[in-house]
Amino acid sequence: MRILLLSDIHANLEALEACLAAAPGFDQVANLGDVVGYGASPNEVIERSRSLGNIFVRGNHDKAATGLIDLEDFNPMAAASALWTRNQLTPEHQEWLHALPQGPLPLEGFPEANLVHGSPGDEDIYIVSIGDALVPLLALPTPLTFFGHTHLQGGFFADDNSADGFRPEYRTVGQAESISLQLKQGTRYLINPGSVGQPRDGDWRAAFALFDTEAQVVHFHRIPYNLKAAQDRILSANLPARLATRLAAGR
């Protein structure tokens, strides 16, 4: 089975469409949350995401957009975009977002892997360093967990001898590229497919991953997309301009 892993789309329709057009064949889609927030196409992105299948865990921005969490914990830019998103969402999409399940959840059809937005212990916690990753890596009942939330493509592993983080190292800054990771028996992994709609690893290209369950390979991808169109939508929606400029910087 080939599973397309999408995370942190953040209402960026142009980035989502580019990823779907570039993705090699897949059997199902696993979406790790933050479907909305920051970007200016929440309804379009929800519609497209729903059409891809039903495996989701919710993100903090999905909760914020439907009033499930207090906006006091959000920075002013995130809070402004959450309020804007609330006002834009159709009642049907509000309801759908509100009902998204809390991770971690087993990956449908491959229960040896788990899906979560933040950390397996807490959906809102960021796993940025090997220090953050170590306890969940060693405590998890399954050897493989896919997570998002940090908008950083890559992940963490632990085996009997060592534990470390890794990031795919691409050769270009603007081309479509892919890097494969062969998973090893006896090693535990936390893997982040990266953010489709708002990468923060200094690379502006949309990020996603594809997991081949039989070959036990994770293919990381970076795809250029119509950045200008996504930025123009943010500016014409009167969302904070920084939400448009940060897309170009990948920060």
Q: Which of 3, 5, 6, 8 contacts Zn ion by CB under 5 A?
A: 8
| Number of chain positions touching Zn ion (CB under 5 A) | 2
For Zn ion, which stretch binds (CB under 5 A), given 1-9, 75-83, 153-161, 162-170? 1-9
Q: How many CA atoms lie within 13 A of 77 on its CB side?
A: 10
Beta carbons within 10 angstroms of residue 88's beta carbon = 17
Q: Which of 152, 29, 50, 39 is nearest to 100 (CA)?
A: 50
Instruction: Identify which of residues 4 and 158 has a Cβ nearer to Zn ion in the complex.
Output: 4
Stretch that binds Zn ion, among 5-13, 86-94, 163-171, 199-207 (CB under 5 A): 5-13
Q: Shortest gap between Cβ of 103 and Zn ion (angstroms)?
A: 13
Considering only the stretches 13-21, 27-35, 40-48, 203-211, report the one whose residues sit in contact with Zn ion under the rule CB under 5 A: 27-35
Of the two residues 127 and 158, which places its CB atom closer to Zn ion in the complex?
127
Beta carbon of residue 35, minimum distance to Zn ion (angstroms, whole number): 9
Helix (H, G, I), strand (E, B) or coil at 212: strand
Query: Please, is 161 exposed, middle or buried when counting C-beta atoms within 10 Å of its C-beta (0-12, 13-18, 19+)?
Result: exposed
**In the complex, minimum distance from the CB of residue 146 to Zn ion, in angstroms, rounded to a whole number:** 14
Question: What is the distance between the alpha carbons of residues 61 and 26, in angstroms, rounded to a whole number?
Answer: 27
Q: What's at 82, amino acid-wise?
A: A
Which residues in 172-231 contact Zn ion (CB under 5 A)? none
Nearer Cβ to Zn ion, position 183 or 234?
234
How many whole angstroms from its chain centre is CA 68?
20
Please check whether residue 61 is in contact with residue 109, taking contact to mean a CB–CB distance below 8 angstroms: no
Residue 33 CB, nearest approach to Zn ion (Å): 7
Name the residue whose CB lies closest to Zn ion: 34
Residue 97 and residue 94: Cα distance in Å, rounded?
Answer: 5
Give the torsion sign (CA, 231, 236, 239, 240): positive
Alpha helices in the chain (DSSP H): 13-22, 42-51, 60-65, 76-88, 91-98, 130-139, 227-236, 242-249
Q: List the one residue from 34, 62, 132, 203 that touches Zn ion (CB under 5 A).
A: 34
The window from 20-28, 34-42, 67-75, 235-243 that contacts Zn ion (CB under 5 A) reads: 34-42
- Is 123 near Zn ion (CB under 5 A)? no
Give least dist CB 81 to Zn ion, A. 11
Omega before 193 cis (within 30°)? no
Which of 28-36, 118-126, 154-162, 228-236 is the region at the interface with Zn ion (rule: CB under 5 A)? 28-36
Residues forming contacts to Zn ion in the complex (CB under 5 A) are 8, 34
